[in-house]
Structure 1
């Protein structure tokens, strides 16, 4: 039997080899490498001869020096031990010493427990061997052109977000009673304002679309009841952040907000609108379903302890 080789790819010329394991992100990897969101040194393989037994890759935001997410991990059936060696070797060579490894995120079929359970659980077992644990399962949602958009109810008015400080104030306020797992985790070790700033800087501020699309919903007297930040990331049009302020929850305003955000993006003739919410955030999941968003995938998010 040939020896096992564990190494990063040498460059774009090995992308076909790396992509022998099928995955929904494979078609994005060349562009990610060109844009600097990935680097060959972040993309590792376990090979026996020219047979790809396992692979992994990290992703980073533009100009990041270190990986932000581990979002690719694939292995042949029965190759869990090989994948564990691959992960341990790659983490030791790639990640800063002493820090918390980046979160793992994997897209899976919406019915993965019936159709893909073995593969998903094998990947989770590899990660668990290094101390990772399941953090949250999320719904990935998609609105498609031609899906009806709810007409305005007339209960709310919408205006652009005035400035960054107004949005941060609103983001801080909606963390009271949030059902979002990432936000709840942030609040265990930082203030609501710090959590809002972190979310803004890590995600919303990085949109490649006009900030003029962001909307605040108000009552007839001008009192804000919520906000929505439709935008574009590096891949899709998205409903980035949508929330109702605590004092106004339970009145169905989320439907008006979601329809407004969808309407803004649909007017740009986008091929799809993507969104996501935690599996356990039932009110938000139901709002997306009422708006015609389809649950086309889920994601498995795993983290390592501090």
Structure 2
């Protein structure tokens, strides 16, 4: 426990019995916290509060995939927006918590914040976003990207196959990683570009596979490689389920085949596979700046329901 001279007490929660305390500052992920604790995606020692007496003035929490023992994302960070020194309290809380949660010498986990699509046009929402970003910036984080979060809903038409492409299951892990390596050439994705600044394309693809795709709890035989009729690969899609929703996990067209509209066929195939499972929704995301991919999702009937702010440390 850390106590500041101004009587700000900062500590992790003691367990799920303090979830009501932690949830006094509302956020869209609150309904997932209890299940995440049960599944081991969160630990009480990763869920910190800053208290002034009985008042919760800031909170922060980290998340990891099931079975991991290190935090993967900082995905809850809230301030009491009625408090005049909320940003200052948030900085102090994060500084104290990160010293305990983040392994010594490790790069701090990425920060992600879900925000309304129109957050810039709504003064109250804009203040919420910018105050939290300001606190993170004081601790060395910088904006990596803003992302669109999209959703397909049952009843939305899915185009019939055009016949231009043939779809088959992915052969094995090596084929998947090789395809992922190829599509990094000329990628518009900010996370991929960040990875490529620190590692080779092959290393980036392998890390992405191990840290995300390999963890999907849905069958890998849902994944599809798109080919021309002669068998030449054009792209791929990985329809899947994560711990919360059906998702289009990864979708891409190989560099030599970009610009031919194949992304529409590939996205339609991934959507068909998931829609056939009777799912209540399909979630997807892409960078705001990746206009071709964003437009493909919209043509396929996916609607923007949210955005995310992603910040990283050097």
Please name the residue that 1:68 is paired with: 72
Contact 1:136 1:302 survives alignment (8 Å): yes
Secondary structure of the equivalent of 1:262? helix
Matched, 1:10 2:28: no
Q: What is the Cα-based RMSD across aligned positions, in Å?
A: 1.1
Counterparts of 1:304 and 1:34, CA distance in 2: 29
Structure 1, unaligned runs of 5 or more: none
Deviation at 1:301, TM superposition (A): 0.4
Please name the residue that 1:182 is paired with: 191
Matched, 1:152 2:152: no
Which whole-Å deviations, capped at 9, do the CAs of 1:13-44 have from their partners, x for residues lacking one? Answer: 00011111111100000010011110000000
Please name the residue that 2:208 is paired with: 199
Q: Which residue, 110, 114, 132 being the options, matches 1:103?
A: 110
Matched pairs, number: 305
Contact 1:2 1:49 survives alignment (8 Å): no
Q: Within 5 A, what are the aligned runs for 1:117-132?
A: 117-132=126-141
Deviation at 1:2, TM superposition (A): 8.1
Alignment TM-score, normalising by the size of structure 2: 0.95
Alignment TM-score, normalising by the size of structure 1: 0.98
Matched, 1:23 2:27: yes
Q: Which residue, 34, 58, 77 being the options, matches 2:38?
A: 34
Which whole-Å deviations, capped at 9, do the CAs of 1:188-220 have from their partners, x for residues lacking one? Answer: 121111111011001000000001100011111
Please name the residue that 1:54 is paired with: 58
Secondary structure of the equivalent of 1:173? helix
Q: Which residue, 266, 269, 275 being the options, matches 1:260?
A: 269
Which whole-Å deviations, capped at 9, do the CAs of 1:65-113 have from their partners, x for residues lacking one? Answer: 2110000000012311111111111011221112211110110001111
Counterparts of 1:84 and 1:178, CA distance in 2: 34
Please name the residue that 1:114 is paired with: 121
Matched, 1:92 2:99: yes
* More displaced 10-residue stretch of structure 1: 190-199 or 252-261: 190-199
Counterparts of 1:80 and 1:165, CA distance in 2: 46
Q: Which runs of 4+ in 1 moved over 3 A?
A: none
Counterparts of 1:132 and 1:247, CA distance in 2: 36
Deviation at 1:48, TM superposition (A): 1.5
Secondary structure of the equivalent of 2:51? strand
Secondary structure of the equivalent of 2:176? helix
